Every structure is written in C-alpha cells, then in structure tokens.
Copies of this chain bind each other. A is one copy, B any other.
Amino acid sequence: MKILSAGVIIIGDEVLSGRTKDTNSNFIAKKLIESGIKLEQIIVIKDDEKLIINTVNDFKQKFSYVFTTGGIGPTHDDITSKSISKAFKKKYVYNKEAYKILENYYSKNNFNEGRKKMARMPEGVKLIHNPLTFAPGYQIENVFVLPGVPAIMEKMFFNVLDKIQKGFSKKIITVNTNLFESIIALDLEKIQKKYKKCSIGSYPYFYFDKKKGGVNIVISSWEMENIQEVVDEIKNMIRLKGGKISLV
C-alpha cells in the first residue's frame, strides 16, 4: 500500500517576523489527514527567489503533493510565481484564462498593472478557482500554488481537494488519562514495540493553576486495518496503574 505524502511551504517574511500567525499550515494539515494524505513536513521561508526555487525542487521530489501559500499577489514582494517558473524551467507568462477572469472581474478600466501581474504564472499550469477575489491559484505537476490570505486560501483548498487523489484514511483513536506521563512511559514503550505498524503518541498537558494534568495518548496507523487491539491494551495498562480513562 502506497501512502500519499505531502509537504507545505509557507512563503512569507511576515510569518518569520512574528507579525502574522500562520494558520494555513494547520488548516491544510487537518484537511490532508481527512483525505488520507500524510503531511510529512512544513517549512516557513522568506520571500527569496533562490530559497523558493530550492525548497520547491526539494519538496516536489520528496512528496506526492506540495502546497505553497503566499506571494502570489500584485506587489513587488510577491515573487512566488516567478520563482516557481524558474524551479520548473518554464516561461513566466500571462495565463490567458487567468487574464480573462481578472479582466472580467475588475472591468477593463480598472485592470491595472498590479492586477495584471496576478495573471502571470509558469507556462502550462492548471488554474485553481478563487471564489472570493478571483485571482486564481494553480497546479503545476504535483505542486499547488495558493495565496497567503487564510480566508481565500481556505475556500480555494476545497477546489484543490477535488484535483488530488485521496489515500486510505488514517485510523486514529485518542485515550485520555489523568495519570502523569512518566507513570505510563515504560509500559507504553513496551506496547509501541509490540505494534510497530501503529504509532503511539503521548501528549501531556498541565493546568498549572489547578495543579492538575494528564495525558492524551494518540493511537494511530496508516497501515493497520484495526487499531482497537492496541487501544484495549493501553486501556488495560492504565486501569492496572489505577488511572482513569476517557475517550477523546
């Protein structure tokens, strides 16, 4: 069984300076896991041509799908499309279809140079419809190029999902306990060693004000048909340690 994989490239100085909180990667991560696609890596890089070229070339080799967000607007600091043209050794041209969409949307009189720039893309791409502000994104091979504004990106991502292959769903069950992580650490490791095709994640949390805490244990697998056996073993272990159990 081949597992579909993905990488996300967030392009934007504003995320690195802390000015903007990136919410796009979390949105994409959730949609991908629902679609049975394994997100392998997220990277945040500057608006820098060489860096965009190298990162896109690296990611498109490594992963089934690559998603970029940011840098496809009308201003001088929007250099994603030019850089991606270079990464794919394609000409950076006016896409006729995108040009028409934008000309219609803005009307001929208001279709200025900045707006025209949003129709410039690598040669031969497939457009991704933008239902909000109409400037389209596009697909080039296994790379999907999307805007950075979350409200727009999110709407467009539903159109992306129509274009990609879906994988087998990941099986995920979360068990919550009031026991501290360190109490169950050794037993959890034993169970993990027994079930190698299943991933057991342990995520502690603390309420410092109430001096309380606990652990969410996330049992998940792309490959196993059924993970209930692993879940039951973990629940038994927690009971033996005197812990409470709740399913999340």
Q: What is A's interface to B at a CB cutoff of 8 Å?
A: 10, 13-23, 25-26, 29-33, 39-47, 73-78, 112-115, 117-118, 132-133, 149, 151-152, 170, 172, 181-186, 188-189, 192-193, 199-206, 208, 218, 220
Contacts and interface: CB of A to CB of B under 8 A. Distances in A.
A148 to B, nearest CB: 8
Contact of A40 (B40, B46, B151, B184): B46
Contact of A114 (B16, B45, B149, B182): B182
Given A132-B208, A206-B133, A188 B76 contact: yes
Given A43-B42, A183-B114, A75 B202 contact: yes
B29 A203 contact: no
Given A16-B42, A112-B183, 5 more contacts: A15-B26, A18-B29, A21-B23, A22-B26, A41-B45
Contacts of A201: 13-14, 47, 77
A33 B15 contact: no
A30 B14 CA distance: 11
A211 to B, nearest CB: 11
A76 B202 CA distance: 8
List of 9 A-B pairs having minimum Cβ-Cβ separation, nearest first: A114-B185, A114-B182, A18-B29, A76-B189, A18-B30, A42-B44, A75-B202, A74-B182, A115-B182
A188 B75 contact: yes
A43 B43 CA distance: 4
A218 B133 CA distance: 23
B13 A199 contact: yes
Contact of A189 (B16, B44, B75): B75
A192 B76 CA distance: 8
B33 A18 contact: yes
Contacts of A188: 75-76
A149 B33 contact: no
Given A181-B73, A200-B77, A220 B16 contact: no
8 contacts: A14-B201, A17-B29, A20-B203, A21-B23, A41-B45, A74-B185, A112-B185, A149-B204
A23 B133 CA distance: 29
A170 B16 CA distance: 13
Contacts of A118: 182
